[in-house]
Structure 1
Amino acid sequence: MNITVLFFGITTDLVGESLLHYNLQGKSSVKELKETLKLKYSTLKNIHEYAIAVNEEYVNDEFLIKDGDIVAIIPPVSGG
C-alpha cells in the first residue's frame, strides 16, 4: 500500500524531508504508522505529541490508512 507522508514544522527538520512516498505492508492504523516512523526516524521520539491529518482531515490513532492516502504530520504550534 503506497501513501504520501508530509512533514511540517520541526518534523521536517527531524526527519530531513518534507515529503516521503512510503510503502506500508497491509492495512495500517495511524498508531501503527506513528510507531513505524519512530523506528525509522528515531528523532521523532523527541516530539511527544503531534496531530495527524489524512487527506486534509484530522484523525485519531485508530483511523485506518488506505492506499493512496496523504498523511500529514503536524507538530504543536506555539504563538504569541
Structure 2
Amino acid sequence: MDLTVSLFGIAREIVGQSSLTLTAPAGQSAAGLLAELRTAYPALASLRSLAVAVNNEYAAADVELHERDEIALIPPVSGG
C-alpha cells in the first residue's frame, strides 16, 4: 500500500521535503513506519522524540496504518 506522510519542523529539514510517499506492507504499524524512516534517514534516530499522528490524533505504536490515512511526523517542540 502507498502511504503519504507529512513532515514538520526538524523532520522536514532532515528529509529535505514536506511530504513523502512510501510503499508499505499491509498491516504496517506506526512503529514499523517510524523504524523504516529512521533507517532511511538516520538523522531522524537522533531526535529525542518523534511522534506519529494518524488522522489528526497522536498514534500508539501498534496502530495499524491504512492507505487513505492522514499521517504526520511530529518532532519535539520547544518554546514557552
Structure 2 partner of 1:18: 18
Instruction: Report % sequence identity.
Output: 38
Deviation (angstroms), 1:26: 2.1
Structure 2 partner of 1:75: 75
- Please identify runs of 4+ aligned residues in structure 1 that moved more than 2 A: none
Structure 2 partner of 1:29: 29
**TM-score, with structure 1 as normaliser:** 0.92
Instruction: Indicate whether 1:4 and 2:4 are aligned.
Output: yes
Instruction: Indicate whether 1:53 and 2:53 are aligned.
Output: yes
Provide the alpha-carbon RMSD of the alignment: 1.0
- Number of residue equivalences: 80
Alignment check: 8 A CA contact 2:48 2:76 kept: no
Residue 34 of structure 1 aligns with an amino acid whose one-letter code is L
**TM-score, with structure 2 as normaliser:** 0.92
Distance in 1, matches of 2:51 and 2:34, equals: 11
Deviation (angstroms), 1:9: 0.5
Unaligned runs of 5+ in 2: none
Unaligned runs of 5+ in 1: none
Deviation (angstroms), 1:61: 0.4
